[in-house]
Amino acid sequence: MEQYIIRGGIPLAGEVEISGAKNAALGILAAAIMTDDTVLIDNLPDVRDINVLLEAMESIGVHVDRVTRHAVMMNSKDIGDVSVDYEYIKKIRASYYLIGALLGKYKKAEVPLPGGCNIGSRPIDLHIKGFKALGAKVTIRNGFIIATAEHLHGSHIYLDTVSVGATINIMMAASLAEGYTIIENCAREPHVVDVANFLNSMGANIRGAGTDVIRIRGVESLHRTEYSIIPDQIEAGTFMFAAAATKGDVMVKNVIPKHLEATTAKLLEIDCEVEEFDNAVRVVASKRLSSTNVKTLPYPGYPTDMQPQISVTLALARGTSIVTESIFENRFKYMDELTRMGADVRVEGNTAIISGVDTLTGARVSAPDLRAGAALVIAGLAAEGITTIDDIMYIQRGYESFDEKLRSLGAEIEKVNSEKEAMKFRLRTG
């Protein structure tokens, strides 16, 4: 079983290039099946979630041609089956974007209902409410969501909770509905905007993405396009906190600094220096960090996907910090692992009270999910001694070449497959 092994204590220094946004790419790949023309998508991250979604798409008849490591040409004119296999949904929840895309294009979709996941129960009632409002009949049978419609029509939809997935899924289906749709209380995340821009580049008529009201005038069909995905703000933020926690100096390149404002604001609050450039940010941590309070919120608030990374950093800051998780109920699972590395943390419901310590010490820990896994890597990089991280397949779901990128910043980290390889690492770095 693959593990990361890390010898911590080295301040990260240098430059790192951020890949394309995984969460934008998931929506965009699904939306790409909505035309019969060939579509070129560039700046795709080479990560497991994306590769699994591409396989799921191939399994229903999409032709996928990998032009380079980061670009695919796709043609979906031969989709013969609107039913997606459970194997894919099990591996990657966001395959549910295929419901909105297939329903919009074929007026029919059969996709297994995604189960719970490690960060808590994740209902999709709002997606279903939106499809129904557009005129679809939605039933759940044998674990599948079956959505069908004679024709889809525009509608006025209010989302009770701000949901990225529901916003994107409804936006896709409404793009090919008859008439005008208004979605209120939308998610405003950069990847919602990126999916809207992509659909518009195929001829859709979507206005207002990035605000809380999206207006969509349905069109008859969509056409070919070439599109480059935005940079991944969560990957960027992860490297920014890795720089902070290791007292490093890192230039994070190929980013949109505006998308990183919540992260940047917190880094400044805890006494890091952050310098913004047109498409890069430099993070320098030259003194002991100070504590702060954080509450996760929908964009432009502080992202839940960056909660573990800031918490790990605060575990090393001076003073007590309070972190409140308001999006997902079960996102503090990694705190037990962090405690094993010497952190002083108490979790009460959706709040973590973190009393900063001077040092963390290396331990064997396991990644409970994608972002918490990345945060444990940060903890390992900052800790004294050796940390090994199990279950790194979660981390590989969303971080391209994570270990390579960290090594290029001077980190001692390696992916190992056996105790022998781990021993070699210990000897080489000891």
Q: What amino acid positions are annotated as catalytic residues? A: 117
Closest distance to ligand UD1 from the beta carbon of 345 (Å) = 21
Q: Dihedrals φ, ψ of 127, to 5°?
A: -60, -45
d(CA 120, CA 241): 24
DSSP state of 318: B
Closest distance to ligand UD1 from the beta carbon of 126 (Å) = 3
Binding site for ligand UD1 (CB under 6 A): 23, 26, 94, 122-127, 161, 163-166, 187, 191, 303-305, 327-328
* CB closer to ligand UD1 out of 145 and 272: 145
* Residue whose Cβ sits closest to ligand UD1: 165
Closest distance to ligand UD1 from the beta carbon of 117 (Å) = 9
Closest distance to ligand UD1 from the beta carbon of 125 (Å) = 5
d(CA 335, CA 333): 5
Q: Which helix (H) or strand (E) holds 129?
A: helix 125-133
* CB closer to ligand UD1 out of 168 and 176: 168
* Among the listed residues 188, 327, 165, 167, the one whose alpha carbon sits nearest the alpha carbon of residue 259: 188
Single-letter amino acid, residue 55? E
Task: Say how many C-beta atoms besides its own lie within 10 A of residue 2's C-beta.
Answer: 15
* CB closer to ligand UD1 out of 189 and 403: 189
* Among the listed residues 16, 2, 101, the one whose alpha carbon sits nearest the alpha carbon of residue 53: 101
In the chain, what's the furthest Cα-to-Cα distance?
A: 67
* CB closer to ligand UD1 out of 163 and 292: 163
* CB closer to ligand UD1 out of 219 and 297: 297
Sheet strands (E) in 127-223: 137-141, 144-148, 156-158, 180-184, 205-207, 213-217
Closest distance to ligand UD1 from the beta carbon of 232 (Å) = 11
